[in-house]
A and B are shown apart, each in its own frame.
Chain A
Amino acid sequence: MALLKMEEWYDLARETNWTPSYASEEELYPETMSEDFGIPLNVWETFDEPYKVSYRDYVRAQRDKDVAAYSVKAALARAEFFKNASPHWKALLALHFSAVCWAEFHSASCFGRMTRFGRAPGMRNMATFGTLDEIRHGQIQIYFAYEFLKHDAVFDWCHKSSKTENWIIISLRHALDDIAHTRDGTTAGVMLNMGLEQSFTNLQFVALSADAAKCGDHSFATMLQSIQTDEARHAQIGEPLVRILCENGRKKEAQQMVDISFWRMWKQFSALSGIGMDYYTPLEHRENSLKEFMEEWVIGQFGRTVEAMGLALPWYWDYLKHDIATFHHAQQIGVYVYRATQWWRPIASVSPAEREWLEEKYPGWNDTFGKCWDVVTENIRNGHYDKTVPAPPPLICNMCHLEVSGVAGGEWQPVDYHVDLDGRRYHFCCEPCKWIFELEPARYKGHRSIIDRAFDGTIGPELDDFLNYMGQSEPERGVCGYDYQWIDGYDTPVAAE
């Protein structure tokens, strides 16, 4: 018996809305979980999945994807690869897996909300597959990460990190909570799709796979791309949602959802992909700089998509173009100098050859961020390791929860964005982070940054108290990934002062 083509039965099978008789529509779709923006149900029902798939085809494709990604032969080769990998790549793998694995489970929960509370049957269909995809992403990455656990205890953080109050984790959790977990299904659908999946996951899962392939880490490259083949499908849930909002007088709301979520995720990926691509990928294996990959995937591909949907580019687009060449360089300095607050072993990646690459990709780097590294370098050359760790804690942004940083050295651009509210001062790293806070102060004002917690007594006064609070026992405190030997690339040490 010949099977019907999907198009011949799809519309009929999709009609799963009914007129409720035991519960009211408001009870079925409570506003906090399912905002309708005043758009009637019959309009939401016009949601037509751009990327249609039948359950049968879905299962077949996912099984084949898994078979390709999890082969035993690859696992053996992988353990061998890891043992011989450079501290650069080990730092990248540790950072990737400990930031991403549990975030995928967060995405699964968000898609679960869309599956239950989406107004349109088509949206619920896509979200069902999206939920299954995201469960897969969490599982496959934990599996790959745990293969390394016997060689390196840092991979314990793939699971553990999400349960800690480590400052980097607070930062990521705050952003994901904001866009994916404390929004109704419709809003979270637009925010997660547009702000994360159609824009930045391409950076970490496709662009980075090019670096991984150059490094010879083929199973990591394959796994990353395999995951992104799911994203490419389920992220299309955003297109009809944005179009329905725009066509029904809610363009302003849709624009704001994109502007907020995109900025929140940019800050996260700036640190994750930015440090990963421009510092942790070994120099000889770098395909492109973060700036170049951002221009290809985000400023380019995503920017064109936003405009073609009928929205405007976010108002801070010009500032973004400046930020892609600066923010992660400053964060990299912070991550290295405050290395004990990281659970992995940070890499400086500023040997003479690496600096040359940075200067070529980011003209002016030596005169700005390089000046900070000059000081770190001189201290290490003189054996003053303690001087490479600053005593005062950094200022943390009350929105992105990353370090407030400017451009150092020759073009010193200090930063001062703050809001005074209810007797206290909130600090921000940039205008967009401040703008998000001011849109809805009540939503954000109760959250205390890690520095707020140090000053209000939640965390004890000693460095040990701080690290213990962040869940870091002694062996879980970051040290220089090269034991300072990267300095060997410089001339013989100058005489100590």
Chain B
Amino acid sequence: MSDTAAQARFVGPVMRAGEIGEAVIEAIHEDNTDRKIEVEEHESYFRVKVEGECLLTMATVSNILGREVLVSDIEMNMPSFEGFIRVETEKMLFLSK
């Protein structure tokens, strides 16, 4: 796959509709200000799509919700995602290649 194609790939989480899901959408907008972001809404889930790469930090989600949010809280509400994931204590990263 060429670099341009990878660049155009949108990656990111698929979130269950709900409080955490909403906060994740907001956090992704904050954590990826320079990237193109699209949100696709379905009856029970949202697909968040960020061009090229998607970062989600626990600090940003925690800030939005006013309480500590851990990666396991995200996991509980994330039935799928697009891209290659990298998980650390304080962040999730979705890569396009």
User: With A225-B44, A308-B6, A308-B84 as given contacts, are A60 and B72 in contact (CB-CB < 8 Å)?
Assistant: yes
Residue among B6, B43, B97 making CB contact with A287, cutoff 8 Å: B43
Evaluate whether A7 and B9 lie within 8 angstroms (CB atoms) in the complex, with A228-B79, A232-B79, A301-B82 already known.
no
Cα A304 to Cα B78 with chains together (Å): 19
Chain A residue numbers with a CB within 8 Å of B79 are 202, 205-206, 209, 224-225, 228-229, 231-232
Known: A68-B76, A308-B6. Contact between A236 and B85, CB under 8 A? Answer: yes
Q: Verify B14–A206 contact, CB threshold 8 A.
A: yes
Inter-chain CA distance A378–B77, complex, in Å, is: 48
Chain A, residues 199-222, CB within 8 Å of chain B (1/0): the string is 000100110011111100000010
Contact partners of B83 in chain A: CB under 8 A: 305, 308
Give A130 Cβ to nearest chain B Cβ, in Å: 14
In which size bucket is the chain A interface?
A: 35 or more
The answer to whether A6 and B78 touch (CB under 8 A), given A53-B72, A210-B44, A213-B43, is: no
Q: Would A5 and B89 be within 8 Å (CB), given that A60-B72, A64-B76, A304-B9 are in contact? A: yes
Q: Which residue of B lies closest to A7 (CB)?
A: B88
B42 touches A225 (CB 8 A): no
Check A65 for interface membership: any CB of B closer than 8 A: yes
Question: Is B88 touching A239 in the complex (CB atoms < 8 A)?
Answer: no
The contact string, 1 if C-beta is below 8 Å from chain B, for chain A 223-242, is 01110110111001001000
Q: Closest CB-CB distance, A317 to chain B, in whole Å?
A: 15
B44 and chain A: residue at smallest CB distance: A213
Interface size of B as a range? 20 to 34
Specify which chain A residues have a CB less than 8 angstroms from the CB of B16 in the assembled complex: 225
Closest residue of B by beta carbon distance from A5: B89
CA distance A5 to B89 in the complex (A): 7
Give B6 Cβ to nearest chain A Cβ, in Å: 7
Complex alpha-carbon distance, A488 and B44, angstroms: 33
Query: How long is the Cα–Cα vector from A45 to B47 in the complex, in angstroms?
Result: 34
Hey, which chain B residues are within 8 Å of A359, CB to CB?
none
Within 8 Å by CB of A57, from B70, B78, B86, B97, lies: B70
Expressed in whole angstroms, the Cα–Cα distance for A68 and B86 within the complex equals 26
B22-63 residues with Cβ-Cβ distance < 8 A to A are 42-45
Q: List 22 A-B contacts (CB under 8 A).
A: A5-B90, A7-B88, A60-B72, A206-B45, A209-B79, A212-B44, A221-B44, A224-B79, A225-B44, A225-B79, A229-B75, A229-B78, A231-B80, A232-B80, A233-B75, A236-B85, A287-B43, A301-B82, A305-B84, A307-B5, A308-B6, A308-B84
Q: 7 smallest A-B Cβ distances: which pairs?
A: A228-B79, A61-B72, A213-B44, A210-B43, A225-B79, A5-B89, A209-B44
Chain A: residues with CB nearer than 8 A to chain B?
5-7, 50-53, 57-58, 60-61, 64-65, 68, 202, 205-206, 209-214, 221, 224-226, 228-229, 231-233, 236, 239, 287, 297, 301, 304-305, 307-308, 310
